């Protein structure tokens, strides 16, 4: 499974990239707003930190303007992945961009039918929103299962990028289902390393080491 981080905070991205865990980055207009920085500037910096795909989202709603925005975004770096909404215009844009060799992340997916359309349009990634689906009374993990089944039935090359993950159990369940990629906030990714018994074991080792009166350095 690939790990993407969902943030526009370049300090957080650098920290995670240094662990070797990070395969890519996803951003969106909300995350850019939270960063307080200029969109193109942030994307360019992120592309210089990670080698993998960096999702940069268009904000237009019509195909023609989406294509114009995408043209600007994909010139930033070779690893820019254009993010488009799951609408008819978004799918049309996806098809045009992927036919031209550009990676495309189709976002705001909330049904398996939508995911099927994205795969037919040649999407590089499909982003089903697990947590947000749960928030509205649906089963976000069941959505991942349905998409996995459909994509496997027809050998679609589109990768399932599970998004809107709220906690480590979401990550675990997506891995068990077979999502190709997860994207989560930095805090959720860091939580994956946490366990009370790990902390307890370290405390015990530190106490016993102190009793030896030794140092390594």
Grade residue 204 by pLDDT with cuts at 50, 70 and 90: very high
Q: What is the pLDDT of residue 130?
A: 97
Domain 2-212 has CATH 3.20.20.70: yes
Identified catalytic residue from 75, 83, 176, 200: 83
Could you tell me the two tokens for 159? 């990768």
Enumerate the H helices of the chain as residue ranges: 10-17, 29-35, 39-49, 63-73, 88-99, 112-120, 130-135, 140-154, 168-177, 186-191, 196-212
Confirm whether 200 is a catalytic residue.
no
Grade residue 93 by pLDDT with cuts at 50, 70 and 90: very high
Give the three-class secondary structure for 116.
helix
The pLDDT tens digits of the residues spanning 130-169 come to 999 999 999 999 999 999 999 999 999 999 999 999 999 9
**Residue-range domain boundaries for the chain:** 2-212
Q: What is the pLDDT of residue 215?
A: 95
The pTM of the full predicted model, rounded to 2 decimals, is: 0.95
> What is the pLDDT of the chain when averaged over all its residues?
97
The pLDDT tens digits of the residues spanning 26-72 come to 999 999 999 999 999 999 999 999 999 999 999 999 999 999 999 99
Q: What is the pLDDT of residue 5?
A: 98
Nearest to 45 by CA among 69, 70, 16, 80: 80
Tell me what percent of the residues of the chain surpass a pLDDT of 90. Answer: 100
């Amino acid at each position: 499974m690939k790990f993407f981080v969902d943030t526009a905070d370049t300090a957080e991205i650098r920290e995670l990239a240094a662990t070797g865990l990070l395969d890519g980055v996803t951003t969106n207009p909300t995350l850019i707003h939270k960063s307080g920085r200029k969109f193109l500037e942030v994307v360019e910096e992120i592309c210089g930190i990670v080698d993998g795909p960096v999702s940069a989202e268009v904000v237009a709603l019509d195909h023609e303007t989406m294509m114009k925005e995408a043209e600007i975004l994909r010139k930033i770096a070779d690893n820019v992945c254009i993010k488009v909404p799951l609408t008819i215009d978004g799918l049309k844009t996806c098809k045009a961009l992927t036919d031209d060799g550009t990676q495309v992340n189709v976002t705001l997916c909330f049904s398996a039918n939508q995911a099927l359309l994205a795969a037919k349009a040649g999407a590089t990634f499909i982003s089903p929103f697990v947590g947000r689906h749960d928030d509205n009374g649906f089963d976000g993990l069941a959505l991942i299962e349905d998409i996995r089944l459909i994509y496997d039935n027809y050998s679609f090359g589109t990768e399932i990028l599970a998004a809107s993950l709220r906690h480590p159990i979401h990550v675990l369940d997506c891995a068990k289902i077979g999502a190709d990629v997860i994207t989560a906030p930095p805090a959720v990714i860091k939580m994956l390393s946490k366990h009370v018994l790990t902390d307890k074991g370290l405390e015990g080792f530190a106490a016993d080491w102190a009793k030896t009166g030794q140092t390594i350095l």
